[in-house]
């Protein structure tokens, strides 16, 4: 009996073009997300976990962990389908800036723009560089930076 295989639905390296823009669906950040991330990461900083403390802070309320929102953005990138089954590795994050806080109840989405592609035949694919902006429900940028991914070439390419 053979093992069933699925066809990747993501884009292969050759299909990424400089200037291509990909927008993810949105995702609302919940209190459960923040509590679970605090438990997973061990970051129980009061600005994330203490409503009374946070109410008296500059932010005025609890703030989602920056690394939580970065992780959510990574998942949102996968939800676009363009990376599903074709990404080999997440290679680099650079120039990352946390611009604006994300609060409980904010809905974020990722806007990805291909800025560079570099063929790497020895690995059977290439590097795809994406400029990323994570935006909230008011279309305000909450964080931004650059991701480099290694992506498989189309079979037989």
Q: What percent of the chain has pLDDT over 70?
A: 94
Give me the domains of the chain, ranges plus CATH numbers.
Answer: 13-28+64-152 (3.10.129.10)
Mean pLDDT over 21-27 rounds to 97
pTM, two decimal places: 0.91
Q: Which stretches does DSSP call E strand in the chain? A: 21-23, 27-28, 87-98, 107-120, 125-135, 141-152
Percent pLDDT > 90 in the chain is: 92
- Is the pLDDT reported for residue 147 higher than 70? yes
CA distance 88 to 123: 10
CA–CA–CA angle 130, 89, 66 (5° rounding): 60
The mean of the pLDDT values for the chain is 95
pLDDT at 89: 95
Question: Which whole number is the average pLDDT over 60-81?
Answer: 97
Model pLDDT, residue 8? 67
Q: With a cut of 60, say whether residue 61 has pLDDT above it.
A: yes
Encode pLDDT of 93-130 as tens digits: 999 999 999 999 999 999 999 999 999 999 999 999 99
């Amino acid at each position: 009996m053979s093992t069933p295989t699925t066809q990747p639905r993501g884009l292969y390296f050759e299909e990424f073009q400089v200037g291509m823009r990909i927008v993810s669906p949105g995702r609302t950040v919940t209190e459960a997300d923040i509590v679970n991330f605090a438990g997973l990461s061990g970051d129980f900083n009061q600005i994330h976990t203490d409503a009374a403390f946070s109410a008296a802070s500059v932010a005025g309320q609890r703030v989602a962990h920056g690394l939580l929102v970065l992780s959510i953005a990574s998942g949102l990138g996968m939800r676009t389908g363009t990376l599903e089954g074709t990404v080999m590795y997440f290679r680099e994050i650079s120039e990352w800036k946390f611009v604006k806080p994300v609060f409980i109840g904010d809905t974020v989405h990722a806007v990805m723009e291909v800025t560079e592609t570099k063929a790497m035949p020895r690995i059977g694919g290439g590097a795809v560089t994406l400029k990323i902006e994570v935006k909230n429900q008011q279309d305000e940028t909450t964080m931004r930076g650059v991701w480099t991914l290694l992506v498989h070439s189309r079979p037989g390419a």
